[in-house]
Structure 1
């Protein structure tokens, strides 16, 4: 039996609180970087709350009330799906609410946004449902939207947020007319809220309330709610807008002003009878009540909260996201078409781990490249650390550490997320004979180099000598890899990409290059301008010849230029096969037109060669075509390599003139000498005639 109380008690509601998982913030971070960018448009999200419960304190033996909060996690962004919906075996134990996320770009925008307006917009949405002539779509979920405003400080991984659960402050409100009492748990329901009548043998939906209760006396009407509150006398916040709907909707001849409510909690159900308070303000029912519902912070005041994930996150994961942050900002603030994944997934092989290798590796990491392999055969010397930023003084002690492995280890110390590998390897060079006892080792080195080129997408030639670049040039051409070449002078540098054959270039002859459309033939390699084969340039050198004597800043300039050129090439629709831009003539525009293929990369032109002159701080773009007698990429060389790679290497090392004979450069030299000889005879005869 219900016990009447002498004085009615106002019905109060326990506000919802939020419980936000770190996975929610990780998903917001991804959404911000890849999709929202600078947009602060509303994003649909959803959350779930469970049932309130009583837990017995093991020390005191007293019961402790634990109310359920609205839980948000990574699945909250799948608002259009049923991800995270209630379990089929107990569907009403977890209730879904739908909401709106507004993420602001600055902390000032977050602080200064019109919060009352944002909450009122949802309050108006609730009011329109409550006063609509149709109730067919009304549910507990639709009557309880929520709002989450955020600012994500992605540099410090701090997330400022404030959640609002809009409720219309109905006046007069509701009061308890029969005291709360515990009742048997009702049968499990398929919805978090249902209606009952009479003997409670039937259940009705909120959308059909007026037909379900049409002939039901007021004292037999009951709402059964899966309740997030554990308070002994205050139901959860979602009930508030449901009561507003029942007492306001015009579709019922007489608004509901009295009913019983049953709150189903974890292992317990309580029930009470309530009624709408009487008062003069009922005459203003047509006016929308004020909207309330902002969540209080941990200090119990109305204000935002802050989630600091920095201390909780794995430092490597923090670094991984931070490395990408600058690049992501570049893409969505300046270059939306920039394909960062293409750069990030590019595997780079750096042949040479000296000054050029160190600077190239650092710039690659700045672009987000994760896979870098360094190859070198030397050790760190005392002169290296001041010029080569991946080495320290201790690396040069006791004869010096291996350069490649030491540089790779330094890259991992700088950024643990990089897959950096160092390999000590000697590259066979033309003009440097192979001792009979070393042939097996050279064959193995050749196989290792071939495997490395196969496993990478871009090969950088960053060695000290001209002849050391020959074999990687040949292998890169044979395997169709993008080869980037960097060479230094005292105050000059060369950065170039090696050309690759295409169907278009196969149909083109090496015609004269003139200003105008891009050159359509095959671009040349490092050796295409040579009329002699690469040979031993290392023996019998003086001290100044043994060391690369350059202005200190030129290596970093050339290295950065090479990486920037690579990235521009990767962004071009034709990739490594992109045609070179042609330097403009004096009468032509200084820059290519937007319709030219060279400007198809969002980063600008993709030249063939860049020659820098630090003495007058100028750069010159040059296009060079492939040479049919080139010792590095011509067809006779490629055919010999494919027939027997080791034999080609062995003969080129043993015989300095072998490559010239193979390509026909020896005949060109003979023809040139013959022409010079004929010219000299003609000059002598002419002088005699004048005498």
Structure 2
């Protein structure tokens, strides 16, 4: 409980200070405001709290701030008084410690003093109850440092008590108390507020009147008629009031005169009023001391016990009102709250211990991302990244590194597809696996990878599918079981591609990328492809086909057979995303079985250890850059020539391809057009797939590469090329 200022044996009026009561919801809302709105802004912010005078005995006079404190239009709870305040939230703990507390207090006190001198406090009494809150939110640890201040102006001399505090039921009869309750309730209802912090009282043996402060002049002129803003309730005619409760009008110079004021008091101590009375007495001394020598104070305390309203614990007393000629300067002020040890210092709240660790981890991940936005990339749209659903085809070296980088970007939805099991050679290069995962034949990679992601960050929605991807040149017609299994795998893959936004092709073989490339092109999904050599890699985005209903027709233009990227990026400037080639567009042969009759080093991806990490990271960064572009996958491709130009997004360029050479530590950004005879994304392949579905795919799986080459026109192209070469040779021989 807050320490009571003064000794009860003294005849000077003492006050019980406010004790700050900051709800957990307040800190949660401050966290959200800091992350999403305030960021690095340290400018003062308006907030509001409230206090209540119905607490049980022994509880301190609390000023409460909860989640609604940041909404100045939020309703105040029933039977509570509002208090307006200023939040000063610092960016660092050092700034919090170095804040000029004296200056902050003086500024707040000046605002209160100005409202008293101007009369604004009479119209809006809530201005007398301003408060300060100095905070620092350590959102990495969820430690909140704060120092609360309720500024109170000090009179030049102590306030002497003429008559000490007594409970209201010792002065008022039950009928008088009921009349007071009704008059106060009616005034609150008339003003449309849950409680009035200050009010005027006038009563005699026949009536009880309450009024607003702004009606002071008319209220205390001795008129017996009801004035605007007054609420009157009558008493029984023969009910006599104690002499001290009578209102004595102005009876000539030197007469003893007093007024009665009501204060909605948050304190429940029998001998002391609460903190809100302090500034009100300064107002009374400044504005009314020339007219009245004393003030009778009724500290109105309203609580409900077992469903029965009780105000009898309210206290009433009389103080001498000093006659003061205040200078324009603001009086001295006090009000900084003591800490838990009773010393002058801030307090700290540690919410990490009472928070769900999963929720804490999620908030911390969000913080790392939003720190980028505050100062480095203010235009970064994190929602586009965090909400994207990524399908990773391949859970090997590339898949593991891509997944970790995706989580670093806050991606919450990651799905793995792989049919392999973890072997002893995997954990050293594939960071989602450990030695124990290799035992007993090894765990399925896709399932183990998804499980490990959720252990790393429980907030991620990770799934794994242990399944094969049918491939060209790998027949599926040996038995009905094999054929039906292939049908199920194709259907599942189609469903997965449909349910995700971005498809990553991260497999070991070229032919395993064909089917997902066809499905993704047909469903207009963004494809990010990453492939490794020994010390080289390629990372690229596939061209994103326009929907057919737009009347685009065959979007793959005809152009020379030679791979476009070899002709140089300058020849292909300003190529939009729907005209860009896919992984197979630069090939003039269809994919086939690339592992048959090959040695072990030819079957496995043998590369420098750092290559997959580089390529995996670049694949994710390319995806993020595409998502940040207003046109997404349809964005014009950036090339190496654009490196000195203004970047199209806040993150920089949006290339078509990134080809890296680790031996030279060099990257180039080629651009290639879609190939009209491409075996994966050309209109002939997509039309056939969309018409025949699985039946078309079975033909591709069960035939050699000649089927796709015949369909797309590559066979005829080879024949024409060969004939041209023979003709050239015959010409040379004749020369």
TM-score, normalised with respect to structure 1: 0.90
* 1:70 match: 63
Aligned to 1:311, the other structure's residue is in SS state coil
Work out whether residues 40 and 374 of structure 2, in 8 Å CA contact, stay in contact via their aligned partners in 1. Answer: yes
Question: CA–CA distance in 1 between the matches of 2:369 and 2:728?
Answer: 61
1:269 and 2:318 matched: no
- Tell me if 1:108 matches 2:94: yes
SS of aligned partner of 1:147 = strand
SS in 2 for 1:244: helix
Instruction: Show structure 1 runs of 4+ deviating over 6 A.
Output: 503-508
1:94 to 61, 80, 94: 80
Q: How many angstroms apart in 2 are the aligned matches of 1:8 and 1:466?
A: 93
Contact 2:116 2:122 in 1 (8 A): no
Partner of 1:327: 369
Q: Whole-Å Cα distance in 1 between the matches of residues 459 and 698 of structure 2?
A: 40
- Provide the secondary structure at the position in 2 that maps to 1:636: helix
> What is the CA–CA distance in structure 2 between the aligned matches of 1:536 and 1:367, rounded to whole Å?
36
Task: Provide Cα deviations, 1:168-213, integer angstroms capped at 9, x if missing partner.
Answer: 0112242221222222443153233321102352210122223322
Residue 208 of structure 2, aligned match among 191, 201, 205: 201
> Who is 2:575 aligned against?
519
Pair 535,15 (structure 1): closer, same or farther in 2 beyond 3 Å? same
Residues 53 and 647 of structure 1: CA distance in aligned 2, closer, same or farther (over 3 Å): closer
Q: Aligned-pair distance for 1:447?
A: 0.6
Corresponding residue for 2:608?
Answer: 551
In the alignment, which residue of structure 1 is the partner of 2:11? 9
Measured at CA, do residues 614 and 505 of structure 1 come closer, stay the same or move farther in structure 2, by a change above 3 Å? farther
Alpha-carbon displacement from aligned partner over 1:479-514 (angstroms, at most 9, x marks no partner): 110000000000000000000134799789567853
In structure 2, the CA distance between the partners of 1:374 and 1:180, relative to structure 1 (3 Å rule), is: same
Compared with structure 1, are the counterparts of its residues 395 and 262 closer, same or farther at alpha carbon in structure 2 (3 Å cutoff)?
closer
Task: Output the CA distance in 2 between the equivalents of 1:641 and 1:339.
Answer: 36
Is residue 360–residue 563 contact of structure 1 (8 Å, CA) maintained in 2? yes
Verify the 8 A CA contact 1:48 1:70 in the aligned structure 2: yes
Query: For the residues of structure 1 that align with 2:260 and 2:505, how far apart are their CA atoms?
Result: 81
| Cα shift at 1:570 | 0.4
Please point out which of 372, 377, 394 is paired with 2:419: 377
- Kept in 1, the 8 Å contact 2:556–2:676? The answer is no
Secondary structure at the aligned position of 1:411 is classed as helix
Q: Which residue of 2 aligns with 1:679?
A: 728
| Alignment RMSD | 2.1
Q: In the alignment, is the contact (CA less than 8 A) between 2:261 and 2:295 conserved in 1?
A: no
Moved more, 166-175 or 450-459: 166-175
- The answer to whether the 8 A contact 2:200-2:212 is kept is yes
Does the 8 Å CA contact 1:262/1:269 hold for their aligned counterparts? no
Of 591, 601, 606, the match for 2:644: 591
Answer yes or no: is 1:337 the counterpart of 2:337. no
For residues 210 and 600 of structure 1, the distance between their equivalents in structure 2, rounded to whole angstroms, comes to 68
Question: What is the CA–CA distance in structure 2 between the aligned matches of 1:620 and 1:505, rounded to whole Å?
Answer: 32
Change (3 A) 1:507 1:351: closer
SS of 2:15's partner is coil
Match of 2:630 in 1: 573
Instruction: Report the CA distance shift for 1:392/1:133 in structure 2 as closer, same or farther (over 3 A).
Output: closer
Mapped to 1, the partners of 2:671 and 2:338 lie a distance apart of 67
Q: CA deviation at 1:582?
A: 2.9
Helix, strand or coil at the partner of 1:570: helix
Q: Which shifted more, 543-552 or 194-203?
A: 194-203
Contact 2:293 2:321 in 1 (8 A): no
Do residues 32 (structure 1) and 34 (structure 2) align?
yes
Partner of 1:90: none
- Tell me how far apart the structure 2 counterparts of residues 115 and 147 of structure 1 sit (CA, whole Å): 10
Name the CA shift for 1:516/1:352 in 2 (closer, same or farther; >3 Å): closer
Which one of the candidate residues 369, 393, 401 is aligned to 2:435? Answer: 393
Q: Distance in 2 between matches of 1:256 and 1:329?
A: 60
Q: Secondary structure at the match of 1:529?
A: coil
2:167 equivalent to 1:182: yes
Whether the 8 Å CA contact 2:199–2:262 is kept in 1: the answer is: yes
Deviation at 1:682, TM superposition (A): 2.6
Distance 1:15 1:214 in 2: 34
- From 190, 209, 217, the counterpart of 2:248: 217
1:125 alignment counterpart:
111
**Which position in structure 2 is the counterpart of 1:169?**
154
Measured against aligned partners, the alpha-carbon deviations of 1:135-187 in whole angstroms (never above 9, x if no partner) come to 65231x21110000001111111111000000101122422212222224431
**2: distance between equivalents of 1:255 and 1:329?**
59
Q: Note closer, same or farther for the CA distance 1:207–1:433 as it changes in structure 2 (3 Å cut).
A: same
Structure 2: distance between partners of 1:579 and 1:682? 43
1:517 Cα deviation from its structure 2 partner: 4.6
String of CA shifts for 1:531-555, please: whole Å, max 9, x gaps.
Answer: 1100111112211112210000000
Encode CA deviations 1:416-457: one digit per residue, 9 max, x unaligned.
111000001111100111123211111111110000001000
Aligned ranges for residues 392-541 of structure 1 at < 5 Å? 392-434=434-476, 435-437=478-480, 438-502=482-546, 509=557, 514=570, 517-520=573-576, 522-541=579-598
Shift, 1:350, TM fit: 0.0
2:145 match: secondary structure: strand
Tell me, in whole angstroms, the C-alpha distance in 1 between the residues paired with 2:556 and 2:472: 31
Of 660, 663, 667, the residue aligned with 2:709 is 660
Seen in structure 2, the aligned counterparts of structure 1 residues 17 and 162 have a Cα distance that, compared at 3 Å, is same
Alignment check: 8 A CA contact 2:155 2:331 kept: yes
- Name the count of aligned residue pairs: 651
Picking from 285, 288, 291, the partner of 1:247 is 285
Q: Distance in 1 between matches of 2:66 and 2:458?
A: 28
Are the structure 2 counterparts of residues 530 and 337 from structure 1 closer, same or farther at C-alpha, using a change threshold of 3 Å?
Answer: same
Which structure 1 segments of 5+ residues have no match? 1-6, 56-64, 88-92, 687-691
Q: 1:99 & 1:494 partners in 2: Cα distance?
A: 58
Q: Tell me how far apart the structure 2 counterparts of residues 244 and 40 of structure 1 sit (CA, whole Å).
A: 32
Asked if structure 2 preserves the Cα contact closer than 8 Å seen for 1:180 and 1:270, the reply is no
Report the secondary structure of 1:259's partner residue: strand
Alpha carbons of 1:136 and 1:195: their partners in 2 closer, same or farther (altered >3 Å)? closer
CA separation of 1:8/1:561 partners in 2, compared to 1, >3 Å: closer, same or farther?
Answer: closer
Whether 2:650 is the aligned partner of 1:607: answer no
TM-score (norm 2): 0.85
Given the alignment of the two structures, is residue 359 of structure 1 paired with residue 380 of structure 2, yes or no? Answer: no
The answer to whether residue 603 in structure 2 is matched with residue 617 in structure 1 is: no
Instruction: Mark the CA change 1:391 to 1:249 in structure 2 (over 3 Å): closer, same or farther.
Output: same
